[in-house]
Chain A
Amino acid sequence: MKSELEYTNLAGISGPLIFVQGVKGVGYGDLVEIRNGSGEVRTGQTLEVDEEIAVVQVFEGTTGLSIKGTRTTFIGKPLEIPTHREMLGRVFDGLGRPIDGAPQVISDLMMNINGLPINPYMREYPRDFIQTGISAIDGMNTLIRGQKLPIFSGSGMPHNRIAAQIARQARLLTAHEEFTVIFVAMGVKFDIARFFIDSLEESGVLPRSAVFLSLADAPSIERLITPRVALTLAEYLAFTEGMHVLVILTDMTNYCESLRELSSSRGEIPSRKGYPGYLYSDLASIYERAGRIQGAKGSITQIPILTMPSDDISHPVPDLTGYITEGQIVLERELFNKGVYPPIAGLPSLSRLMKDGIGEGRTRKDHAQVAAQLFASYAKVKRIRALAAIVGEEELSDLDKIYLRFGNVFEERFLSQGYNENRSIETTLDIGWEMLSVLPEEELYRISKEDIQRYYIPQKGDV
């Protein structure tokens, strides 16, 4: 049953919101069609209703709308999009409408863009290792199929290149299955979108990708819809069509700014830095759409990218993201300035799902211990560097000097690699051992004697 109700004139406009008076039978969350005097159509959603007034957010923004002559039609259902396999290889705008010149995809299956919460009892715990070919990720912060693992970056750092490299190189070791990529741009410039599309094209991934663009010049409210539209398609492809979908969302900071804008125009009490108190729940409604479910073959892996304002990890956007995602890849300004690519920070980066996806039969038996030892030893390097800055390097003990050497080769050989360099997990772990072998054997207390015997490379002159 579909009830359509049309009203002329508005009671008010404020920021991205319009107020429609005298409404009857309008449901909370209902989709709204808005026509201005010249017949141009926009889309909106009801945020609040009472017996008199409906508050509607307009996704395309309110520029060019006037009180008089604007007509609103309330469609008695929430925003839905068609979902279909044919949507791969296509480019859409932020509301899911094609912008590549080809016609709208027709499908019988219309899905509510807000999705539904997955029953935790029906989730499948993610355990399959994805080889990205990047040592810092595969070796120390392993990505798992179905994980949500964001990249925390700062302005000017190469997060887009890293994401593109992952999209290009991501492989499962166990099965020869390719990833379907969904690329979602929110408030980024056209050249970044172009870079991704080109990169997907070059590597031949474009025909099995879908691109959703809500660029910097699009109305900011539209961005609140874009990730939801894209994830609705992702859910269909993963859980109904059985595909492995990698969703790249960039830039979540822009998304959050739009949410802040909407919240402030509703006059809500802000929480930290003006962001609404429900930012955590709102972000969770996006990030929690990653994962695997029982009985379905496919998966949704999310790589949200966000730039931390002034590189501050405690800013609400990275902070609340970190509280929801299953770890984070943090880019570090200091490494970036040293010319290290990818500048993935050794300590604050973490993959929480790594533990179940690695080891014998998945990657290699020594993987967990090598990673733990690299982390521990690199943490010590950081401490010694801080000390050296005060007392001077000459004053350090011999062991501390060895640690410094370890720190340098670790950054130069292990972390650094080419944009086109695709390392197998064996190569990554072997380089890891090469690095650890710079240290005396006794220092490797996180590694079993057995593995030390097998992999440790005694230095010349040591024996």
Chain B
Amino acid sequence: MEEAAITGRIISVNGPIVKAEGLVEISMFDIAEVGPDRLIGEVIRLEEDLAIIQVYEDNTGLKPGDEVRSYGRPLSVLLGPGLIANIYDGIQRPLIGIAESCENHTLMGIVDRCYIKKGIKIAPLDPEKKWDFKPTVKEGDIVREGSVIGELQETELVLHKTIVPPGIAGKVEFIAEAGGYSIEDSIYTVVQGKKNYNGKLADYWPVRKPRPFKSKKNPVTPLITGQRILDTFFPIARGGTAAIPGGFGTGKTMTQHALAKWCNADIIVYIGCGERGNEMTEVLNDFPRLVDERTGRPLMERTVMIGNTSNMPVPAREVSIYTGVTIAEYYRDMGYNVAVMADSTSRWAEALRELSSRLGDMPAEEGFPPYLATRLAEFYERAGLVETLSNEEGSITIIGAVSPPGGDFSEPVTQHTTRFIRCFWALDKILADARHYPSISWIESYTEYLNDIQEWWKELDSEWMTLRNDAMNILLEDTRLQQIVKLVGPDALPVSQRFILFCAEIIKNAFLQQNSFDPKDMYCSPDKQVKLLKAIICFFRKGKELLSCGLELSKLQSLDAVSEMVRLKSEIGNDEIEKIDAFIQRLESSLNSLKEEVNISHTPDFSKGKSVVKE
């Protein structure tokens, strides 16, 4: 089965970049096997008779003169059943398979199993596993590219559809009957003119080439994340793009993990790109145990992980995001809503920078190559709500973390990214230092999806937009007033403005803050979000009215209901929100009884003493 190989020789080695000669007829982005260990590489540039290859594994020991071979195939991902619940490195080598391939049980063997050695070759998908396949077409049917020809249950959560690959169409000459098949078995044959296409359960697709679809559509459904500040204030649509920029320790990974756990996508592709090993381990430990509220199944059953950690070869980091997004497209083409988390796109950009500098490219800003922006655009462009080739709807939402040096958003990666995304979730170091989590700034963040998705929320509660805007205005007013407070202290403000500061504090504590470790609060259903907001805004509106009737602010501040309000989020679960209704009733009645008090003794507010400024 070995095809004829093209061979050449190494003439120089500089880090992971190898130059080779003699590879005639090799094309850009073809895979090359480099040196005696046949390390995986990819042709990234061709210069006259030289091929420049980036090597995706540790290449110490490579020498000029070593052999390079190629089969003229582009670097590809194997797409088929078995991707879900798996974890791969940047070039789709299965990390579980790598560990299990070292069978040795001696102590050194145990230690050996824990490391990724170079030259390991393991198939991305288990070639022996039998899948219970059911055909959905008959012999003689006409199929087109994208047509579903059969199904199998990949995990309890994912019905895997076997699809005729792009570029193939014709009459089904053979289709396997229902039964157990491996990814190497022939499943169907399509007659295409004079040629026959022999289909299997799995197929290769080049990583750098987007998979085709019919058309892009305008996203209208929100991706519910269960994170209040995102869903209520800066929502993203299914098929949208978002960036999470922030300095170290501000909460990028925590946010990405929370989204991967709780967002209502069908499939999650989590790409750990140049980040910590332990963070991947954490996902691997948590996801099989965490249960999806809607389906009752472990979250792992809808998750594919790509882990190319910071200490793994840098070039593979550059490919990892393409590997991830190609897998996402594969599931999108089955008609699923896929969410891709990439943590961190800055490490990917740095890999690009490192490789381009070894190639001697002329750098643009901060050493990054001039094509950084183009590459970012191409990546985010692979998101979207589409009509698939088989006329279904599928979507890819891309959420990329950005790690700006020194937390300064004016650097090139953050700046270019903002041009290609429509949701900006800015993390704020000051909030993080004060342990206000998630530390997403309500001042710097924005979303462009609000208008597209508001109908969805209005269906849940017709008042949603008003509640949201009222709360947002309180927060914005608070920011403005804080500037004054910094100069003169809060007591110099009129009572109505002090009340705004007070309500903003409530919104921050009772609504915006959401601890990812709090079992009742880590996921907040849309219903609960609206109800919590209602309680706060009810307090705000009624309170304002009472103050204008002359109630003392301190009476409002010391209401028991206020300290209760801050605890609602973590004391009331998503399945008992009628308790929030009950709370709102109690709140209203205690406010009403304050009203009666005011009516009896009508005294203006001099509580905080001397400097009450006239409104």
What is A's interface to B at a CB cutoff of 8 Å? 24-30, 48-51, 76-78, 114-126, 239-240, 268-272, 277-278, 280-281, 284-285, 288-289, 291, 293-296, 314-316, 319-320, 322-324, 326-328, 347-348, 350, 352-353, 355, 368, 372, 375-376, 379, 386-387, 390-391, 395-397, 442, 445
Contacts and interface: CB of A to CB of B under 8 A. Distances in A.
B23 interface: no
A120 B63 contact: no
Interface residues of B, number: 76
Interface in B229-285: 247-249, 272, 274, 276-278, 280-282, 284-285
B282 A125 contact: yes
A391 B11 contact: no
A284 B363 contact: no
B612 interface: no
Nearest to A45: B60
Contacts, number: 218
28 contacts: A25-B65, A26-B63, A27-B60, A30-B60, A49-B13, A49-B64, A50-B64, A51-B11, A114-B60, A116-B117, A117-B277, A117-B312, A120-B277, A121-B281, A123-B280, A269-B363, A277-B357, A278-B350, A280-B350, A281-B350, A284-B310, A288-B277, A288-B311, A316-B405, A322-B249, A323-B248, A379-B434, A390-B489
Given A116-B115, A269-B357, A327 B249 contact: yes
B609 to A, nearest CB: 10
A271 B407 contact: no
A120 B281 contact: yes
B367 A271 contact: yes
A375 B434 contact: yes
Contacts of A28: 13-15, 59-63
B278 A291 contact: yes
A315 B406 CA distance: 7
Nearest to A50: B12
A24 B113 CA distance: 35
A143 to B, nearest CB: 15
Contacts of A49: 12-13, 63-64
Contacts of B65: 24-25, 51
B581 to A, nearest CB: 22
A123 B281 contact: yes
Given A25-B63, A77-B61, A271-B367, 11 more contacts: A49-B12, A78-B61, A125-B285, A272-B366, A288-B310, A296-B114, A319-B248, A320-B405, A372-B435, A376-B435, A386-B486
Contact of B277 (A123, A296, A379): A123
A172 B15 CA distance: 42
Contacts of B247: 314, 319, 322
Listed residue (B63, B117, B406, B407) with the most chain A CB atoms within 10 angstroms of its CB = B63
A376 B509 CA distance: 11
A173 B407 CA distance: 37
B354 interface: yes
A395 B61 CA distance: 71
A280 B398 CA distance: 25
Given A117-B115, A269-B357, A27 B63 contact: yes
A121 to B, nearest CB: 4
A117 B309 contact: yes
B521 to A, nearest CB: 12
Interface core residue of B108, B277, B433 (most chain A CB under 10 Å): B277
B108 A240 contact: yes
Given A116-B117, A119-B115, A278 B98 contact: no
A239 B115 CA distance: 12
A118 B285 CA distance: 16
A28 B35 CA distance: 12
B466 to A, nearest CB: 28
B489 A387 contact: yes
Contacts of A26: 63-64
Given A119-B95, A319-B248, A327-B249, A390 B486 contact: yes
Closest 8 pairs (CB-CB, A-B): A29-B60, A50-B12, A314-B406, A284-B310, A322-B248, A379-B434, A120-B280, A116-B115
Contacts of A285: 310-311
Interface in B352-387: 353-354, 357, 363, 366-367
A30 B366 CA distance: 32
A78 B60 CA distance: 8
B111 interface: yes
Contacts of A24: 65
Contacts of A314: 247, 405-408
A347 B59 CA distance: 43
B476 interface: no
B491 A395 contact: yes
Nearest to B403: A323
Nearest to B362: A269
Contacts of B406: 272, 314-315, 319
Contacts of A347: 433-434
B486 A387 contact: yes
Contact of B367 (A121, A270, A296, A391): A270
Contacts of B433: 347-348, 379
Nearest to B95: A121
A122 B102 CA distance: 12
Contact of A239 (B62, B111, B281, B485): B111
B183 interface: no
A278 B367 CA distance: 11
B396 interface: no
